[in-house]
Amino acid sequence: MKNKRELITITDQVKAQIADVDVAPPLLYKKLFYNLLAAHDIACENEELIVDQIFDEKLSKLKTLSDNTSKNVVKLDNTTKDAMDAIKKGDGVKLERVLEETANLRIEIEKLKASIFTDTLTKAYNRQWLYSNYMDGAEVFTSKGILVFIDMNYFKDINDNYGHIAGDKVLEFTAMHLKKTKGELVRYGGDEFLLLFGNQFSVDQIKSLISNNRALITRKELKFKENSFHTSYSYGIAPFDVNDNFQDVLSVADTSMYEDKEEFKHRLIIG
């Protein structure tokens, strides 16, 4: 689809702009979207065709996911019945075969989980993974740990100066390095990430860990076509406990992140 990467980036930017808006009617979303199209000098012709193509892609992926899930549920049901039968009859040979089938099925299930829970660009986890692994249905934490909220510095300038493909490369580069912190990395929004740590580190240890990671990234000169530039991120840290509300914890980390951004943003070199 023509301009698909650009449209995805603009969609992420609109979502970020309306994130704090209690009510976002369609006309507001549309106005923001078309303002960004104009700012990036992108033509969005045949809007209905683009919508149809996006829905076709999504439906195709959903159908594949549904088919694979159904197939594995049937396999699991049959394997469970075979296991129960083998145990009841004391059939060691059959039980050995069932164990092998279970191991293979687990591999297929892990593949399904990866497709559901992974951000396609950065290979970080996505929000669905976060909600499934750390929270209940009411966005309340089910474990304790430490959350780090990460926001790229001057990311819009990189997109504007060098293009959205360069922006995507920066996100991939940043995600690759953030994974080295050994925290569980989530792509939360367009240029926003979360890192989640258990109780193996203190807040001070994580602050040192993230600061060192950022210093390493900031020193690296990135090249895209004939251009070279630097990038970095700002971060905020907030501990969380069982039954803490996710949005409350995120708000604390967000406030800390903006304080950090004011202190650090001058270090980013564009150009």
pLDDT in tens, 17-54: 776 677 777 787 778 777 777 776 776 666 555 555 55
CA distance 257 to 151: 8
Burial class of residue 5 (count of CB atoms within 10 Å of its CB; 0-12, 13-18, 19+)? middle
Residue 184: predicted pLDDT: 96
Q: Which of 46-60, 161-175, 183-197 shows the lowest per-residue confidence on average (mean pLDDT)? A: 46-60
pLDDT in tens, 52-96: 555 556 556 556 656 666 666 666 667 777 777 777 778 788 778
Residue 150 phi/psi, 5-degree rounding, is -120, 130
Question: Mean of the pLDDT values across residues 247-252?
Answer: 96
More confident residue, 105 or 132: 132
Amino acid sitting at position 259: E
Q: How confident is the model at residue 271 (pLDDT cuts 50, 70, 90)?
A: very low
Residue 171: predicted pLDDT: 95
Contact 149, 254 (CB under 8 A): yes
pLDDT exceeds 60 at position 194: yes
pLDDT exceeds 80 at position 112: no
Give kind and range of the element (H or E) at residue 49.
helix 47-89
pLDDT exceeds 90 at position 212: yes
CA distances from 149 to 14, 16, 64, 99, 157 (A): 20, 14, 33, 42, 21
pLDDT exceeds 50 at position 238: yes
Query: Nearest to residue 234, comparing CAs of 210, 202, 208?
Result: 210
Contact 235, 260 (CB under 8 A): yes
Strand partners, 149: 194, 236
Residue 236's SS3 state is: strand
DSSP one-letter code for 171: H
Q: How confident is the model at residue 249 (pLDDT cuts 50, 70, 90)?
A: very high
Strand partners, 224: 227
pLDDT exceeds 90 at position 120: no
Residue 179: predicted pLDDT: 96
Mean pLDDT of the chain: 82
Residue 270: predicted pLDDT: 45
Amino acid sitting at position 242: V
Residue 26: predicted pLDDT: 77
Residue whose entry in the numeric block shows the structure tokens 């979360």: 194
